[in-house]
Amino acid sequence: MAARDGSAVVSRLVVVGDALLDRDLYGEIERLCPEAPAPVVEGLRISSRPGGAALAATLAADEGHEVTFVTALGEGSAGREVAALLSQLDVQVVDLRLDGRTPQKVRVLSRGYLLLRLDHADRSAPGTGPLSGEARAALRSAEAILVSDYGRGLAARRDLRATLVEAADRIPVVWDPHPKGCAPILGVRLATPNSVEAAGFAGAVLAAGIPGVRVHARTLLERWRAEAVAVTLGRDGALLHEVGRSPRLIPSTDADGDVCGAGDRFAVTAAGLLSEGASVASAVEGAVRAATSFVAGGGAATVALPAGWPVEAPLLPPGSAEQLAAAVRSRGGTVVATGGCFDLLHAGHVTMLEAARSLGDCLVVCLNSDASVRRLKGAGRPLQRQEDRAAVLEALRAVDAVAVFDEDTPEALLMRLRVDVWAKGADYTQRRLPEASVLRQWGGRVEILPYVEGRSTTGLIQALEFGA
């Protein structure tokens, strides 16, 4: 395995923590809402990426580490999307299962400014079963461990913490805490709270200035029996306090930009440098530089996603197939899709569509455009334009939405829809379906439906021509 720049793997790094799905909505503001003094955001576009500790795992993979991510993913589309993204980014996921749904964090931005954040999360907790052998093996074979606690319960599991205590005797363990999370295990190599987190864990009000931060760092160093505490201070850098040494400020250069994910970049870089044998001071200095560059470069919104993954796709209008699929997924439903030209609708089509609809909670028909049909069937087809074919399909009880695509096959559309089931007639096999490999990226499946003998559009056309 190699880093994205082609260099060799740096180290085996295990990231432990709570996964989220992050979505950013970008738009323009040119007026205020007439109902209230609130901005109207128009021309929205959407971008999705791994969030929470999953972002830390993504950043670690981007640095070239061989990454295993020990997490708990929930049921539903958000968890599947995070897992699919991480798989494409060469991150091995060890899933301890979440009793609930993977949380989502949605930000609304315009011209680089954050306007609003919406959090979607169940009251959920990681599964209560025993820590899996796969998780224990990953932690025991790691060269460094980063615990990226996002306060959703994973880092509080006793069996996981016991295994981390064992690991801390052998390898560097870095702990990035969260205000709603738990204290680190005793004896971590480095803890990386920000100034607010440091004050909270120290049981004090947020102190003004560096002198107050020094007090908090010293308190946490003793309370957590850590080898070092680095309190991150944003554009002021970080204050490092190591056992047996006086605290010192590691400054940063000013950097304007999106700070989302800067703490993750700091912790990941520190863990990676410690795994290579760097001193704590050198690791923190490198982490400050990396976080500063990360913010200046655009922050989490610039995280590299797999080739072909939808990035900043247009936010679709109400009533679209994509919006329907997203709504069904958000409530835990199963999205089914099928596709074809449907030039002359016949009994075989209707039987197949009804069978497909029975497989889930909605059915989207992926319809070849007129240009696509001509390439596949010849200059004399289609007999009906795409608007008419779509209208006929939408009138059927089994069909919930129709989406037209221009390509020869609907892989790009399926990437946007994120369907759970792709249904096709028995005249196809999975080996002949290029869509099958696309669905496997996020855990979807192909269903081959019974074929109704003697029913085909070509047969109907031939019968009409003969009758004429």
264 part of the active site: yes
Burial (CB count within 10 angstroms: exposed 0-12, middle 13-18, buried 19+), residue 205? exposed
CA separation, residue 256 to residues 181, 297, 298 (Å): 29, 9, 9
Query: Which residues are registered as beta bridge partners of 238?
Result: 232, 250
Are 346 and 453 within 8 A, CB to CB? no
Q: How many CA atoms lie within 13 A of 108 on its CB side?
A: 15
């968890």: which residue's tokens? 79
Burial (CB count within 10 angstroms: exposed 0-12, middle 13-18, buried 19+), residue 377? middle
Exactly one of 264, 343, 400, 420 is catalytic; name it.
264
Between CA 381 and CA 388, with CA 382 as vertex, the angle to 5 degrees is 165
Residues 409 and 406: their CA atoms lie apart, in Å, by: 8
Count the Cβ atoms, other than its own, within 10 Å of residue 376. 13
Residue 24, H or E segment:
strand 19-32
Active site residues: 264
